[in-house]
Amino acid sequence: MSKIVRLSILGAGTVGGGVLTLLRENADLLEAQTGKRFEVRHVLVRDPSKPRAVPVPPKLLTTDPQRAVCDPKVHVVLELMGGLEPARTLIRDALQAGKHVITANKWVMAVSGDELLRLARRQGVRLLYEASVAGSLPILNALQGALAGNRIERVVGIVNSTTNFILREMERALDAGEPAETAYATALRKAQENGYAEADPTSDVEGYDAQYKTAILARLALLQYVPLESVYREGITHISGRDLLWARRLGMGLKLLSISERLPDGRLCARVHPTLIPRECPLYVVRGAFSGIWLQGNGFQEMSLHGFGAGARATASAVLGDLIEIARYPKPPRHDDPSLRPGETAPIETLTTRYFVRLTAPDEDALRTVREPLSLLGAEFHPAEPLESGVEQVALTPPLNEGDFQAHLARLREHTSATVQAIRVL
């Protein structure tokens, strides 16, 4: 690679703007770290006339993707536009044209990462994607570099900072005296007002964003290809303020967790769901719009990372790390990528876990129809408490098989007027 590394940046939104800012602010540092200078040749956008938080010199702006991707002078294409298409096609085109690619796109990497990583190797170029999981936290590079000599047993993460912000704001709303029933709507509105959640929040609150990231994390941590559809997904839309109040009373926190682990039978289990975590868990302190990762491995034992999981500068930090890596080591490794090996995955039904159960019913008789069968499974109930609309009672169960427990709950729900909330406990 020559002394000048020429870049095409696809997208000048939050992340693209952050990258342009840090490229300018840290130009001397980047040169000192690599012995090279970085020059932006094209910035691809949809609307060149749009006012931008980070102004882009008009001569760099283009709406022609092929110009940005196939310019023979460009060495590295940075895909920071988001969405599945046309981002995936443009990454493919860039690799085919012999460019190195950096992407922040978890959707593309979760769905087509295997195909694109193989293509990059065949082309003798690099495809790096640190920014696609947990923003500034250098977890993907750590798994492939400094921690690669360990057998990773489990990765637990708060990988969607929007839902972490919403859960925290729900707590704040409850502390301010808001009724539990409306806390979620208030918190979501606040997340949207602060720019943490989109107008359509589905990808965050239904767990899709965390599912994409989990597929990527699980693959690199447990060295096995993880199809997206094998990652169990559950979001936070069914979480009530009452669950958060009870979590606190039980000395626990409630988080949307990404969990990937190797089960005793050797299969990989990857999942995203709301989870109660004890105070001693390193992720307990990860609050608001932050991300955190907690790892266990047979050498380092355990480790946690905690920091900004999103935002212009934090995400740009990860992109620049990838850029420096490419400038230093432009050749891809020659051996087969171990994270693309096929392997068996286990459905969530095979899991053994404890549950927090919260029952609400119009009266004590209705409550009893559910409490008694759950007590037979070993659930230990706190005394029932009156609510404005009836009664509520919570319990923690011993470890139970997920498939059996969910089937049991489904049968109970058919024959009762009580509602049953069940949340897994870490």
Half-sphere exposure (Cβ direction) of 243: Cα atoms closer than 13 Å: 28
Helix (H, G, I), strand (E, B) or coil at 141: helix
Beta-bridge mates of residue 5: 38
Q: How far apart are CA 414 and CA 417, in angstroms?
A: 9
Is 158 a binding residue for ligand NAP by CB under 6 A? The answer is: no
Amino acid at 171: E
Is 47 a binding residue for ligand NAP by CB under 6 A? The answer is: yes
Is 80 a binding residue for ligand NAP by CB under 6 A? The answer is: yes
393-398: long-range contacts (C-beta < 8 A, 24 or more apart)?
Answer: 393/358, 393/359, 393/367, 394/246, 394/250, 394/356, 394/357, 394/358, 394/359, 395/356, 395/357, 395/359, 395/371, 396/250, 396/354, 396/355, 396/356, 396/357, 396/425, 397/354, 397/355, 397/357, 398/354
Is 131 a binding residue for ligand NAP by CB under 6 A? The answer is: yes
Residue 398 Cβ vs ligand NAP, minimum distance, rounded to whole Å? 39
Closest to ligand NAP by CB, 311 or 390: 311
Q: Which of 6, 7, 9, 16 binds ligand NAP (CB under 6 A)?
A: 16
Is 12 a binding residue for ligand NAP by CB under 6 A? The answer is: yes
Residue 18 Cβ vs ligand NAP, minimum distance, rounded to whole Å? 8
The secondary structure of residue 195, as a DSSP letter, is T
Closest to ligand NAP by CB, 92 or 358: 92
Is 200 a binding residue for ligand NAP by CB under 6 A? The answer is: no
Residue 128 Cβ vs ligand NAP, minimum distance, rounded to whole Å? 13
Closest to ligand NAP by CB, 90 or 142: 90
Options 75-83, 182-190, 246-254, 361-369: segment touching ligand NAP (CB under 6 A) = 75-83
Q: Which of 5, 44, 215, 323 binds ligand NAP (CB under 6 A)?
A: 44
Is 159 a binding residue for ligand NAP by CB under 6 A? The answer is: no
Residue 315 Cβ vs ligand NAP, minimum distance, rounded to whole Å? 4
Residue number of the CB closest to ligand NAP reads: 13
Q: How far apart are CA 42 and CA 9, in angstroms?
A: 6
Q: Smallest Cα–Cα separation from 315: which of 63, 35, 84, 13?
A: 13
Q: Which of 36, 99, 213, 255 is catalytic?
A: 213
Closest to ligand NAP by CB, 258 or 393: 258
Options 98-106, 144-152, 187-195, 266-274: segment touching ligand NAP (CB under 6 A) = 98-106
Residue 309 Cβ vs ligand NAP, minimum distance, rounded to whole Å? 7
Determine contact, residues 100/126, Cβ cutoff 8 Å. Answer: yes
C-beta atoms surrounding 183 within 10 Å: 26
Q: Smallest Cα–Cα separation from 254: which of 231, 268, 233, 238?
A: 238
Is 116 a binding residue for ligand NAP by CB under 6 A? The answer is: no
What are the tokens at 362? 């119009």
Is 14 a binding residue for ligand NAP by CB under 6 A? The answer is: yes
> Per-residue x/- marks for ligand NAP, 261-300, CB under 6 A?
----------------------------------------
Determine contact, residues 160/202, Cβ cutoff 8 Å. Answer: no
> Would you mind telling me the total number of residues written for the chain in this entry?
426
Residue 310 Cβ vs ligand NAP, minimum distance, rounded to whole Å? 3
Beta-bridge mates of residue 252: 278
Q: Which of 4, 29, 35, 50 binds ligand NAP (CB under 6 A)?
A: 50
Residue 258 Cβ vs ligand NAP, minimum distance, rounded to whole Å? 15
Is 372 a binding residue for ligand NAP by CB under 6 A? The answer is: no
Please spell the DSSP secondary structure of 274-343, one letter per residue.
EEEEETTSGGGG--SSEEEEEEEETTTEEEEEEEE-SSHHHHHHHHHHHHHHHHH--SPPSS--GGG---
> Per-residue x/- marks for ligand NAP, 302-341, CB under 6 A?
--------xx---x--------------------------
Q: Which of 24, 46, 73, 415 binds ligand NAP (CB under 6 A)?
A: 46
Is 138 a binding residue for ligand NAP by CB under 6 A? The answer is: no
Q: How far apart are CA 172 and CA 285, in angstroms?
A: 15
What are the tokens at 46? 């949809």
Is 259 a binding residue for ligand NAP by CB under 6 A? The answer is: no
Q: How far apart are CA 420 and CA 307, in angstroms?
A: 35
Closest to ligand NAP by CB, 102 or 379: 102
Determine contact, residues 188/204, Cβ cutoff 8 Å. Answer: no
| Active-site residue, 99 included | no
Q: Which residues are at the interface with ligand NAP (CB under 6 A)?
A: 11-16, 44-47, 50, 80-82, 86, 104-106, 131, 135, 310-311, 315
Active-site residues, by number, are: 213
